[in-house]
A and B are shown apart, each in its own frame.
Chain A
């Protein structure tokens, strides 16, 4: 019971902060709201038994990505996107598309899962199994991801460097 209450709190925190992250007006607030939301998603992972992923989520999203976004916001001089004209076509298509997506997936797929239960008592596999998978069967994808990260870093440096 208590479990469910905590779960509900997390659920609502994620949802509310996600809404804030999308609709607040100052980028820095959005970034912080996103960080909170993502932090709470890590809580969800704990519910599912993925402790390692929860830690990774906090580390990478909150510790690195959010910080990087906040950095960029703070480094750029204050920029105000003037709330001048509203483009009705864009807002229309945005909301309609999203709603359509929501309804489509809900109706077509998720309706079947309405009463399914997850067995939370069964422990998820831990760091050891993940490590084994990364060491041999998934070694090549892992290396490719490493290369992608490296290239991303180099690319970011090259792009953001002031050309003299």
Chain B
């Protein structure tokens, strides 16, 4: 099992789809953010598994994974700050109630 490419791909696809479900139906902004992290992790896992499969673990794929991780960190920072701001502004982090397009 550990040497089967498919097991990794299946897991990553599962993570991405699960994250997508979460992003689309959970209403709490923080949980939506958590789901986005899951999607990113699924994608990274996919990339790295394919990298191992195709090149036997070349450094290039790892470097790109590092970039993904760094970008994820940046994205989380901003997203959390925005969530925090939203909360302070509206006393609300329910995505369904944040439907004013102005102000």
Interface residues of A (CB under 8 A from B): 3-4, 6-8, 11, 14-15, 18-19, 21-23, 27, 30-31, 34, 37-38, 41, 44-45, 47-50, 52-53, 56-57, 60-61, 64-65, 68-69, 72-73, 75-76, 79, 81, 87, 90-91, 93-95, 97-99, 101-102, 105-106, 110, 113-120, 122-126, 129-130, 132-134, 138, 141-142, 145, 148-149, 151-153, 155-157, 159-160
Rounded to whole angstroms, the CA-CA distance of A8 and B5 in the bound complex is 13
CB atoms of B63 and A152 under 8 A apart: no
Shortest CB-to-CB span from A102 to chain B, Å, is: 5
CB atoms of B76 and A138 under 8 A apart: no
CB atoms of A130 and B33 under 8 A apart: no
CB atoms of A93 and B24 under 8 A apart: yes
CB atoms of A95 and B25 under 8 A apart: yes
Interface residues of B (CB under 8 A from A): 1-11, 13-22, 24-28, 30-31, 33-35, 37-38, 41, 44-45, 48-49, 52-53, 56-60, 62-63, 65-67, 69-78, 80-85, 87, 92-94, 96
CB atoms of A116 and B6 under 8 A apart: yes
Given known A125-B57, A152-B74, contact A56–B6 (CB-CB < 8 A):
no
CB atoms of A68 and B13 under 8 A apart: no
Partner of B30, one of A73, A117, A133, A134: A73
Mostly, the B contact residues are: helix
Shortest CB-to-CB span from A87 to chain B, Å, is: 7
CB contacts between A and B, total, < 8 Å: 234
Partner of A114, one of B6, B37, B48, B74: B6
CB atoms of A7 and B13 under 8 A apart: no
16 other contacts beyond A115-B4, A145-B71, A148-B71, with CB at 8 A cut-off? Answer: A18-B14, A21-B22, A27-B31, A30-B34, A61-B72, A65-B37, A68-B80, A76-B84, A87-B96, A118-B53, A119-B3, A124-B62, A138-B63, A152-B75, A159-B78, A160-B81
